[in-house]
Amino acid sequence: MKFEPVIGLEVHAQLLTDSKLFCGCSTKFGSEPNTQVDPICLGMPGVLPVLNRKAVEYAIKMALAVECEVNRKSVFARKNYFYPDLPKGYQISQYTEPIAERGCLEIEVDGVKKTIGITRIHMEEDAGKLLHGEGPEDAGFSFVDLNRTGVPLIEIVSEPDIRSADEAQAYLKALRDILIYLGICNGNMEEGSFRCDANVSVRPVGAEKFGTRAELKNMNSFKFVKEAIDYEIQRQIDLIESGGKVVQETRLFDSAKGITASMRSKEEAHDYRYLPDPDLLPLMVSDELVSEVRSTLPELPRAKRERFVTEYAIPAYDAGVLTASRDLAGYYEQVVSETGEPKLSSNWIMGELLRLLNEEGRDVKDCPIPPSGVADIIKMVKGGQISGKMAKEVFEEMYRTKKAAADIVKAKGLTQISDEGELAKIVEEIVNANPDNVAKFKAGKTNVIGFFVGEIMKATKGKANPGVINKLLKEKLEA
Ligand code: ADP
Ligand code: MG
C-alpha cells in the first residue's frame, strides 16, 4: 500500500511591539531574568489587562497580507492549564472568535505552485521560560524567567493542505518572509520568535479520511522542520504497516538523534475549559482601522519578485536572491536607477557584494559601500576606465576602507589605458619586435594574436583596454 502524508502547521510569531500584550512591560530579548515583569503579567489578583493597540494592528497587517477576512468582532478567551511558567494558571488567547480567518498563501516547490489554506490567525500572550540548572550548584533545580510572559504572539493555523516536508518548509519560509517584510516579527527561529508545530498524519493514497495526527514540537530551524516531518511520516507508515495504530499525541523532535519521541498524549480542546475572559471586552475592529492598516502594507515578497522579473528582465533566480529582504531589494533598485543596467547590477550585488557581506555575516543595512558606490564601479567598467579584473580589486578595497572608487583608482594608478593613440604606439613596438609571429599570423595562424595581447599587457602592467588593443592589433596585422 502507498501512503500520502497530510500536514497542517501551527506557527507562532512574536510581534515586534515595544511592550507586552496586556501591560506596559518591555518585550526586549535577553535581559536579566524577571526584570521585565509587573503585577499584570505576573497574574496578581485584582489586576486588569489592557490590550496593546499596536499588537492588534500588526495582527491585522498579517491577516491582510495572507488574504484573511478580518473579523470585526473577536473575543479573548482564557485557556486554562497549569504550567510553572504561566503564573495566572491560564493563557489569554482567542478561541471561537479569532481576529482573522480564511486566508491563503501561495508556495512553490520545484517550480510547481500551490496554494495552502490558512484557517485562522488569532492573538495570544506568550508564556515564560523555564531554565533547567546544569552547573554543579544548580543541577536538579529549575528556574523560571517571566520576562517573556505576556509578550504578544499571533498564531497562524494552516489547513491540512500540505503534502510533504518540502512543502511545509516552503510554506514556513514564505510565511516568515512576509512577517519580516511587514516588519512585525523578526523571524528569529533560534530565539523562538518564530516557532512552528507540525501536525502530521498519513493515509492510504486515494483515501478520503485523514489518519490520526501527531503534533511535532521543538524544531528550531528549517532544516529540523524537514528532518522531523520526514522522520515522522516514515515512523507512521512503518507503524501502520506492522499492524500498529498511530495515537494522537505530542512528540518532541530530538535534533541530535534526528528522531521524534512521545512527550505527552494530546489534550483535546475541551480539556482547556476555554471561556471568554471577563476582564476583556470583545475586540471590535472598525472598517477604518482595517483600511488604515491596509494602506501601510508594503509590496510583498512574491509581488516584488514577479515585478523584478518583468520590470528589469532579470532571471527568476536573481529576482529571488535580490528580494530576500526588503533592504537588499531597495539597495538593488537604487543601483539600477543610477546605472540603468539591471543585469550588471544584479551580477555585482549577487556576486561581489553578497560574498563580502556573507563572509562577515553582515546585513546589507550595515554595508560599507552605498548603492552609489556599486553604481560607480559599474559605470567605470562600462566606460572603459578600468577593467573587470581591476574593478573587483577596487571594489574589495572600497568595502574595506569605505573610500570612493575614483580615489582608489587614482591612488593605485589603476586607470585603464583606452587612449588609441597611446596604445597604437605600444602595439607598433610589439609588432615590430616580433616578425616571426607576424609571419605566422599572415600564414593563417590567427591565434598568435593571444601572444601579442599578452606582450602588450606585460608592457602596460595589465592596464591596456583589451577591447582597444584587440582592435588595433587586427588592424595592424591585417594591414
Ligand atoms: P490544536 O490546538 O489541537 O493543535 P489547532 O486547530 O490549533 O488544534 O491546529 C490543528 C492543526 O492540525 C491545523 O493546522 C490542521 O490543519 C492540522 N490537522 C488537523 N487534522 C489533521 C490531520 N488529520 N493530519 C494532519 N494535520 C491535521
Ligand atoms: Mg496544535
Where residue 288 falls among pLDDT bands split at 50, 70, 90?
Answer: very high
- Pocket probe for ligand 1: among 199, 233, 267, 274, the residue whose CB has the most ligand atoms within 8 Å is 199
Q: Choose among 321, 291, 289: nearest CA to 308.
A: 321
**What are the chain's domains?**
3-292 (no CATH), 301-412 (no CATH), 420-478 (1.10.10.410)
159 lines ligand 1 (CB under 6 A): yes
Where residue 389 falls among pLDDT bands split at 50, 70, 90?
Answer: confident
pTM of the model: 0.84
Q: Number of helices (H) and strands (E), helices first, in the chain?
A: 16, 16
| Atom in ligand 1 nearest the alpha carbon of residue 155 | 7
96 lines ligand 1 (CB under 6 A): no
Where residue 387 falls among pLDDT bands split at 50, 70, 90?
Answer: confident
8 lines ligand 1 (CB under 6 A): yes
Decide if pLDDT at 237 tops 80.
Answer: yes
201 lines ligand 1 (CB under 6 A): yes
- Mean pLDDT confidence for 296-307: 94
- Mean pLDDT confidence for 65-81: 97
Q: Which letter does DSSP use for residue 352 in this model?
A: I
Provide the Cα torsion 90, 30, 256, 5; round to 10°. 50
Where residue 269 falls among pLDDT bands split at 50, 70, 90?
Answer: confident
Decide if pLDDT at 384 tops 80.
Answer: no
Which residues neighbour 93 within 8 Å (Cβ) at sequence distance 6 or greater? 76, 77, 78, 79, 122, 123, 124, 125, 155, 274
Output the furthest CA–CA distance in the chain (Å, rounded). 102
CA pair distance 385, 397, nearest whole angstrom:
17
271 lines ligand 1 (CB under 6 A): no
Decide if pLDDT at 40 tops 90.
Answer: yes
pLDDT digits (tens, 9 = 90+) for 166-209: 999 999 999 999 999 999 999 999 889 999 999 999 999 999 99
158 lines ligand 1 (CB under 6 A): yes
Instruction: Give the 3-state secondary structure of residue 141.
Output: coil
Question: What is the Cα 19 distance to its own chain's centre?
Answer: 25
Are the C-beta atoms of 19 and 51 separated by less than 8 Å?
no
Decide if pLDDT at 241 tops 80.
Answer: yes
Among protein residues, the one with the nearest Cα to ligand 1's atom 17 is 8
In DSSP notation, 59-122 reads HHHHHHHTTPEEPSEE-EEEEE---TT-TTSEEEEE-SS-SEEEEEEEEEETTEEEEEEEEEEE
Res 264: pLDDT: 79
Decide if pLDDT at 390 tops 90.
Answer: no
Which residues neighbour 1 within 8 Å (Cβ) at sequence distance 6 or greater? 204, 205, 241
Among protein residues, the one with the nearest Cα to ligand 1's atom 2 is 269
| Atom in ligand 1 nearest the alpha carbon of residue 197 | 4
Where residue 443 falls among pLDDT bands split at 50, 70, 90?
Answer: confident
Q: Which helix (H) or strand (E) holds 377?
A: helix 371-382
CA pair distance 103, 194, nearest whole angstrom:
19
Lowest mean per-residue pLDDT among 18-27, 79-88, 466-475:
466-475
pLDDT-above-90 percentage for the chain: 74
Burial of 126 (0-12, 13-18, 19+ CB in 10 A): buried
93 lines ligand 1 (CB under 6 A): no
Decide if pLDDT at 266 tops 80.
Answer: no
